[in-house]
Structure formats: C-alpha cells, structure tokens
Amino acid sequence: MAENKTGLERYIRQTIFKGVGQEGQRKLLAAHALIVGCGALGTAIANLLGRAGVGHITIIDRDFIELNNLQRQTLYDEEDLRQNLPKAVAAANKLRLINSEITVEGLVEDLSYENIERLVGAADIVLDGTDNFETRYLLNDTCVKLGKPWIYSGVIAAYGITSTILPGDTPCFRCLFPDPPPPGTTPTCDTAGIVGPIVGMMGAFAAGEAIKLLTGQGTLNRGLTSIDLWQLNFDRLPVEARQPDCPCCGLREFEFLEAAGERGSRVASLCGRNAIQVTIRPTPNLDLPEFAGRLAAAGAEEMLENEFLLRYRLDGYEWTLFPDARAIIKGTDDPNVAKTLYARYIGV
Ligand SMILES: [Zn+2]
C-alpha cells in the first residue's frame, strides 16, 4: 500500500517489475521522447510510451488520417476521420485521454532543417515512425551531431527491422546503410502492402528499447534486429563496429542536414498514397481563409476547412493545404506535375 503515497499508482504493474521499479518510473516521468511520424509505427510507439508514463511526448507528423490507415494505425478511429484531423492532433488528443498526467504535444509539420535541431535538442530520445529514408538520414545526422540516442524502425509487408543508435557508441544509421537506396528500388506500402501485427511487434520493440534506455536498465539492441512475421524468422545481425570513415559519425560531415537547408520548394512522394508533398523554405505563414477565397475563385471545389487544414479538389487532384504552405497533392506520383500545380495555384 506504500504505493498509494507515491503518486505512481497508475504504473504499479510496471513499478513492481524489478527492471523498472519506482526509480525507473520517475526517470520515465522526467523524460522527453520525440516521435517522428505518427502513422502505423508512430501510433504503436506513442500508445505504449504514453501509457508507460513517459512524462513528455512530442509527436510530429505532416499527414492527415485516411480510411485505409485504420487497419493498422491504432490511435485513430472513424470519428477522427470524419473530423478530417491531422494525425498529430488526433494522436495527441487520444494520448491525453489515455494519460492526463503527462504532457503531449502534437505538431502538424514536416520535420525539416528549420525545426529538427530544436526538436531533437529538446528530447532525451528520438523514435523513428517515418516511412522514408530521406527523413531517417536527416534524423541520423541531427542525432549524431547533438549526441541524442534514436531508435530506427522500418516495417514493410510482414517484415520489420530495427536498431538502437547511440551516437559515439554503436554504429550510426550511415554506418549500417551508407547511402540511401536509389528511388524506386525499395518496396513501398504501395507495392508490398503491410499487415497490422508486424507494426504492433516493431512498435512494441521500439517502445521497449526506449523504456530500457530511459531507465538505464536492460539490454539494448545494439545491432540490427529483424523479424519476418510470415516466415517466422527472427534475426539479430552481429553487432558491427562503427565505421571509422563513416561520413556522419566518423568524419562528422552532416551532408543530409546541410542539404536540407537549401532554399526553395521541395517535393517528397508519400508512401502508398499516389500523392506528392510540396514544401517551401523558408516557411511562410498562410492565411488559410484568405487562400480558400482565392482558390474558390480559381475553380476549387468541395472545399473543406478546419483550423488545421484546407481540403479541396482542383484540376482533378485532391489538395490538402496547411498553414505552413505545405501541400499534399493526391492523384499523381510525378514530382514535376506536383511542383507545377503548386507553382500555379499556391505560388508562394
Ligand atoms: Zn556512422
């Protein structure tokens, strides 16, 4: 009954587990985790860390919820979909319902050169819930530069892979994968699909690593671990040493972070979506109601607006425009088409 006076009653099943204990729980409550991307993996991770009592959770995600997300993105429901909520907003709302004693921030943004050092710098640990290599190399550069641990996770089809990266200690992401794969050479959710259970497994794996790391207990995944749920293969690749000539953690040349600082518009294709995201740097602030009027005059239809986004159809494409001038243009996989459309109608 001593627990009743500690304020930790909610976590009693976790604190009587010797690996965590009350001391570990207090460390979790004092910790700040940054979850980058809140799709399938991100929701699985956020759910577990929020319930476990990680005291401050920041979720950054650039996307909104679609019907086909509900199969595996466990923090969302049909009501979120009806409200056209961005994922970061819906995930933060849900976590606050689950645990009102922690601080949760939901940021509807692209992780970029402009915000990444501030966000990573404020966190004790970074968890990868992204679906693309570009963001992972950017994260790796930043985490190595700032000396922050991060947990890489990737999931496709029924397969998952993960590594816990401790800068200056374990191999970094570029030690493991020196260069990004050429575009179009890796399977995507589009071509290979994804089953919910592997997401749950890899999300749980990453959340477990975070809890061990933040409490300073247990054995960390210092190499690459992969799970093939369908064939029932579990592999732990031997821990390799850091590569002395690794551009990132060896030579401390942060090429991806520097390249991300270039001005102008940038495009990214969104995994499994037949959609392209266009962003612009430096980031302007759009007056969405004013843009709604301007776009309606240009022929935009089926306009839908809330405080987070503006959705409409124009030229046969489905557009979603955010206050930071970011647009997701659905109906094309061609970055040049998206850039042209963006320049024509947003043109900032
Ligand atoms: Zn390295």
CA of 245 to the centre of ligand 1 (A): 8
Ligand 1 centre distance from Cα of residue 124 (Å): 20
**Cα 66 to ligand 1 centroid, rounded to whole Å:** 36
Cα 243 to middle of ligand 1, angstroms? 6
pTM of the shown model: 0.89
Torsion angle of alpha carbons 208, 211, 215, 216, nearest 10°?
A: 40
Chain-centroid distance, C-alpha 27:
23
Residues 172, 189, 248, 249: which is the catalytic one? 189
Alpha helices in the chain (DSSP H): 12-15, 21-29, 40-52, 78-82, 87-98, 116-122, 133-146, 173-176, 189-192, 196-215, 255-259, 288-297, 335-345
Contact 163, 176 (CB under 8 A): yes
Whole-number pLDDT of residue 48? 98
pLDDT at position 5 is 66
Element (H, E) at 56: strand 56-61
Residue-range domains of the chain with CATH: 31-256 (3.40.50.720), 263-345 (3.30.310)
CA 254 / ligand 1 centre spacing (Å): 11
Output the pLDDT for position 187: 74
pLDDT of residue 3: 44
Question: Residue 194 Cα, ligand 1 centroid: separation in angstroms?
Answer: 29
Task: State the DSSP string of 159-180.
Answer: EEEEEEE-TTTS--HHHHS-SP
Which residues have C-beta under 5 Å from ligand 1, the single-atom ion? 172, 174-175, 246, 248-249
Active site residue 38: no
Residue-level pLDDT at 260: 79
**Binned average pLDDT, 10 residues per bin, the chain of 348 residues:** 69 97 98 97 98 98 93 97 96 98 96 93 97 91 98 96 96 93 71 92 98 97 95 88 94 91 80 84 84 90 91 94 92 89 82
The two three-digit tokens of residue 257, written as one number: 């972070």
